[in-house]
Chains A and B, each alone.
Chain A
């Protein structure tokens, strides 16, 4: 059998059979980079963050935004419809609803952020403790199980029933109701991290427990905890409004969105705007925080995104 072998180096492109070029069957992928690219890839963070900044600005600059004293009573001009003078109308006591709604942002944001902060802090402490100290774990987690089986809004209501209504007490009550969930989350993260080889290695090489916690455990809990804190912030704002709405929250004099709605309740069939405006602000604020939470979850922890 005779064969021909082509000799390397003696061959030009014209001597060989070239494969036919292949068409593209899809349009090319456009990749965007930088800050704009990040926002385009995470539209929820863009929308949620934007809304959030707007509402924070409203809360901070409320006195500058053509508001009047939100607590000033004026029986002479009760329940006015929205007009050029009273943009959102006035309530049963003649107070300007626009001013009350804008100042209400301060109450909601204070409650939301404080509860998120304190429940994360306490939950982190309890979760780390029970994740590391065996004998404490059994006791603490039984207590947390018990508290978690009381629906959290009911738990907050029960706690509020004991105390005088004030913003501080509302924050405390909602924080207590949220702590069990955060503790469970942190404990879960700690227990799974403890199984990791690098933590084992650190233990074996004699690293002290506090050092392990600060070097290895704490950094890994921050991502899920941040996401959880965002959700807690959202649900705390809703909880505050529910407490105020049923009369177990902040004192009626304080312009919180729940209080404004509670006052508008009796008249809602004839003067729906008193309920309507705070309702929109509350819903938008909670929506902003939730969107931010979803976006953070997708961006920080893709594994968690798969779950809920």
Chain B
């Protein structure tokens, strides 16, 4: 187990290296002078010169890449061109809302999607199954911001149950914090719920065909015991895998959701940075998100043994 964990961790190094190289190269694969690209349309020649110097463009590519990576490993993600603050500081300031949003969405989505998928598989072919599958297709089809606006319109503007926009830090109380995140979490959760519900249903359908389910029925185990003990535990590995893969959807969706609900998180930071062409910030955020994504999937890989005793490393 321990040896496997080490091997898996080592295996993520080339992946992260590719990510880092890509993120670093972003600036240089664009057509034209990177300093001019950063400086933007209204920059003076002096601005461009200053940026060129700060990028160290006179030195070889790989040397600059090496330095950049070394700095990142030490926690230095560079300095924002727009605010002149260290990127790591800006990320630290913005991480709480995004983390809160994603964690709430994660639990919400799993809590809703898994029972939905299980019931759909149990009631396969009935109107319940069709309703769940129909909801899942809708979840894939309606973009996050459309759901967001719809929810905000109905539950905040019309019914006035929840705040329209904004974010309250956790330190100012659990309820205000949570209240502000309900609508964004539901909006963001849509695709994720659809994804998890579909894989849960598909896996459960397959598991429910297995001989050991017939054995359990022959023993007199009730429907809920069949579904949630005998079947769901066997379906856990594919479901958990998709939960991990789906984190990419959460990250992508968070960028949009934060714009819709005016949440000052990393997603907003990304959008603002793009509009300002603040490359060090864009690089830092993409690197961070990708690292989190790789890390989550690594953890899930290591968790497999909890769900399936046959998996031994």
Q: Do chains A and B make direct contact within the complex (CB under 8 angstroms)?
A: yes
A147 to B290, CA, bound (A): 9
CB 8 Å contact bits of B246-286 with A (1 = contact, 0 = none): 00110111011001000000000011011101010010001
Which residues of chain A from 275 to 296 have any CB-CB distance to chain B below 8 Å in the complex? Answer: 275, 279, 282-283, 286-287, 290-291, 294
Chain A residue at minimum C-beta to C-beta distance from B251: A151
- Answer yes or no: A245 CB below 8 A from chain B CBs: yes
Interface-lining segment among B1-9, B42-50, B70-78, B140-148: B140-148
CB 8 Å contact bits of A143-160 with B (1 = contact, 0 = none): 101110111111101111
A238 to B248, CA, bound (A): 15
**A149-B15 contact, Cβ under 8 Å, with A245-B145, A272-B149, A275-B149:** yes
Contact B14 A142 (CB under 8 A): yes
**A146-B202 contact, Cβ under 8 Å, with A152-B252, A245-B256:** no
Contact B274 A151 (CB under 8 A): no
Chain A residue at minimum C-beta to C-beta distance from B140: A290
- Answer yes or no: B164 CB below 8 A from chain A CBs: yes
Contact A261 B249 (CB under 8 A): no
**A158-B26 contact, Cβ under 8 Å, with A150-B290, A151-B249, A282-B146:** yes
**A291-B137 contact, Cβ under 8 Å, with A146-B14, A160-B274:** yes
- Answer yes or no: B205 CB below 8 A from chain A CBs: yes
Contact B19 A150 (CB under 8 A): yes
Which residues of chain B from 122 to 156 have any CB-CB distance to chain A below 8 Å in the complex? Answer: 137-138, 140-146, 149-150, 153
Q: How far is the CB of A268 from chain B (nearest CB, A)?
A: 6
Contact B259 A269 (CB under 8 A): no
Q: Give the contacting residue for B146; candidates A146, A152, A283, A290; CB below 8 A.
A: A283
- Answer yes or no: B29 CB below 8 A from chain A CBs: yes
Task: Please classify the interface of chain B as helix (H, G, I), strand (E, B), loop, or mixed, using the class held by over half of its residues.
Answer: helix
Q: Contacts of B146 on A, CB cut-off 8 Å? A: 261, 275, 279, 282-283
Contact B142 A283 (CB under 8 A): yes
Task: Please classify the interface of chain A as helix (H, G, I), strand (E, B), loop, or mixed, using the class held by over half of its residues.
Answer: helix
**A269-B157 contact, Cβ under 8 Å, with A146-B18, A287-B137:** yes
Q: Contacts of B304 on A, CB cut-off 8 Å? A: none
- Answer yes or no: B309 CB below 8 A from chain A CBs: no
Q: Contacts of A282 on B, CB cut-off 8 Å? A: 143, 146
Q: How far is the CB of B46 from chain A (nearest CB, A)?
A: 23
Chain A residue at minimum C-beta to C-beta distance from B164: A269
- Answer yes or no: A49 CB below 8 A from chain B CBs: no
A247 to B199, CA, bound (A): 33
- Answer yes or no: B226 CB below 8 A from chain A CBs: no
Contact B256 A146 (CB under 8 A): no
Q: How far is the CB of B203 from chain A (nearest CB, A)?
A: 8
**A150-B30 contact, Cβ under 8 Å, with A142-B18, A238-B143:** no
Q: Contacts of B277 on A, CB cut-off 8 Å? A: 161
Q: Contacts of A279 on B, CB cut-off 8 Å? A: 142-143, 146, 149-150
Contact B141 A290 (CB under 8 A): yes
- Answer yes or no: A171 CB below 8 A from chain B CBs: no
Contact A145 B15 (CB under 8 A): yes
Q: Contacts of B251 on A, CB cut-off 8 Å? A: 151, 154
Chain A residue at minimum C-beta to C-beta distance from B268: A246
**A143-B252 contact, Cβ under 8 Å, with A246-B259, A272-B153:** no
A263 to B24, CA, bound (A): 33
- Answer yes or no: A19 CB below 8 A from chain B CBs: no
Q: Contacts of A150 on B, CB cut-off 8 Å? A: 19, 22-23, 286, 289-290, 293
Q: How far is the CB of B66 from chain A (nearest CB, A)?
A: 18
- Answer yes or no: A175 CB below 8 A from chain B CBs: no
Contact A283 B293 (CB under 8 A): no
Q: How far is the CB of A77 from chain B (nearest CB, A)?
A: 24
A204 to B199, CA, bound (A): 40
**A308-B202 contact, Cβ under 8 Å, with A272-B153, A283-B143, A290-B141:** yes
- Answer yes or no: A186 CB below 8 A from chain B CBs: no
Q: How far is the CB of A233 from chain B (nearest CB, A)?
A: 12
B-binding residues in A (CB < 8 A):
142-143, 145-147, 149-155, 157-163, 234, 238, 241-242, 245-248, 261, 268-269, 272, 275, 279, 282-283, 286-287, 290-291, 294, 306-308
3 closest Cβ pairs, A-B complex? A146-B18, A153-B252, A162-B30
Known: A146-B19, A279-B146. 12 other contacts (CB 8 A): A146-B15, A154-B251, A158-B286, A163-B30, A234-B141, A241-B145, A245-B145, A248-B271, A248-B275, A290-B140, A306-B202, A308-B202
A sample of 28 cross-chain residue pairs with beta-carbon separation below 8 angstroms, ordered by A number, consists of A142-B15, A146-B16, A149-B15, A149-B16, A149-B297, A150-B290, A151-B293, A152-B248, A153-B252, A154-B255, A155-B286, A158-B26, A160-B274, A161-B273, A162-B29, A242-B144, A245-B145, A246-B255, A246-B259, A247-B274, A272-B153, A275-B149, A283-B141, A283-B142, A286-B142, A287-B138, A294-B137, A307-B202
A-binding residues in B (CB < 8 A):
14-19, 21-23, 26-27, 29-31, 37, 137-138, 140-146, 149-150, 153, 157, 164, 198-199, 202, 205-206, 248-249, 251-253, 255-256, 259, 270-271, 273-275, 277, 279, 282, 286, 289-290, 293-294, 297
